[in-house]
Chain A
Amino acid sequence: MQVEVDVPKCVASGQCVLIAPDVFDQRDEDGIVVLLDDSPPVEQYAAVRESALVCPAAAITVSER
């Protein structure tokens, strides 16, 4: 799985960090998403997909490669 974040679209909601804290973090200064792992392990797949689904800015894309 490949994960990408579109930083300019991120609205700093923190939804992704609540769901998949091992894959996403937020910058301390403005809460903008930080991608910790762009090819996370299998056990993270479900959480990453859920993050992409609920991200209120559609800023997370997941591709199965």
Chain B
Amino acid sequence: MNRVVVVGASAGGLATAESLRRLGFSGDLTLVGAEASPPYDRPPLSKQILTGELTAAQVELRSAEQLDELALDLRLGVEATGVDLATRRLSTTKGAIGYDALVVATGVRPRSLPGATGASGVHFVRTLDDALGLKESLQPGQRLVVVGAGFIGAETAAVARSLGVEVTMLEPEPVPLARALGEQVGLAFGALHREHGVDLRTEVAVREILNDGSRVTGVRTAEGGVVPADAVVVGIGSVPNVEWLQGSGLSLGDGLLCDEFSRAAPDVYGVGDVARWTNPLFGVSMRIEHRTNAAEQGLAVARNLLEPGAGKPFAPVPYFWSDQYDRKLQAYGYLRDHDEIAVVAGDLRSPSFVAAYRKGEVLTGVVAGNAGPKVLRGWRAAIARQQPWRDVEAGPGQLDARSGGAGAARTGGAQLRTVDRMQRPGVF
């Protein structure tokens, strides 16, 4: 193994490259990235970059010296265009590169809407330039329409309100974030936005973005109505960047399809938002758009790549956070397709709560608002060891006893209340 090529120079690709060096790989290491800027962090783009708490320079993932130390052949502003598995060659917009092992970390891009291009005032939030452009638009009294009440839309709406912007948020589903977090938690977040003055309209799908030839003027809904706007944020989900792999023989579906070792083919691996792999901890195929996953998967892939015979399945407890107003939402585990949610501490309408998720007879996830770190660690451990749900139902004391003292007793001893029996098939 002398030449490793990593495609995608962001959180996942960089973590892979760094891990390879940390693990002693001293061969040629090429990192190819379509963006011209050195690797930077995306979560602040819908948070501290918009508020001004962090500057563009502060969201760079590594300093120039740290990048130098990795002794990379760093090719920025270069796009991979195809791969030939038989001859092990990557083609790019600036020539071909031979490899012994290839890592695909090309992430996702935002889903678009008709009318989104060709006029100013329409914003996506994926790149640093996107965020810096949006920041300019967030002026007091301006009318911002946020299309989609997912995490990126909701975070942007929260920042915009704090800056005195008038915000209308349009969501096609009846409850925001329901697919990600379940109906009850989604309802609570919808209420939070309304309390902060967001005009949240659910069951409103947007058909197209309107402009006057140069600037955005509003959006047209599926029903034909027009919602006027000075600026529009499009936050309707994302599409994995796999088109460049079409025809290569690699399996593509919703992402690059990988096995439990994150391997797509011999000596070809997937990392981060673009990779769909089977997580043995939950026994399901998942593709996760979370920041920590990109780094952890990069580390796991570096290990497996260097020692394919001794490969370890990648079996993380997924984690993400989201900041909205005074709430820090943190989630562990696999929340989709759950059978039931139980609020085990606090109250969903208050800033501080813990909700537990059941799939089958097992605790599979936890969502917490403003929870302390020890509480969260206890829940994470319980998910990692596939704690039976009956222990959650038996109350925090029971869970705590089983988990050796690290569990939910520190949630303040709140009684378990099952508020949400989601057993209607087809809701999620």
Contact = CB atoms under 8 A, between A and B. Distances in A.
Interface of A: 8-9, 11-15, 17-18, 26-31, 49-50, 53-58, 61
A13 B295 contact: no
B319 interface: yes
B325 interface: no
A56 B54 CA distance: 15
Interface residues of B, number: 29
Contacts of B328: 12, 30-31
Given A11-B321, A57-B41, A58-B62, A28 B372 contact: yes
6 contacts: A27-B373, A31-B372, A31-B376, A54-B296, A55-B295, A58-B62
A17 B299 contact: no
Contacts of B61: 58
Please classify the interface of chain B as helix (H, G, I), strand (E, B), loop, or mixed, using the class held by over half of its residues. helix
A9 B54 contact: yes
Nearest to A50: B299
A12 B292 contact: no
B349 interface: no
Interface of B: 11, 15, 18-19, 22, 41, 43, 53-54, 58, 60-62, 66, 291-292, 295-296, 299, 319, 321, 328, 330, 372-374, 376-377, 380
B114 to A, nearest CB: 34
Contacts of A31: 328, 372-373, 376
Contacts, number: 62
A13 B58 contact: no
Contacts of A13: 292, 319, 321, 330
A54 B290 CA distance: 12
Nearest to B372: A28
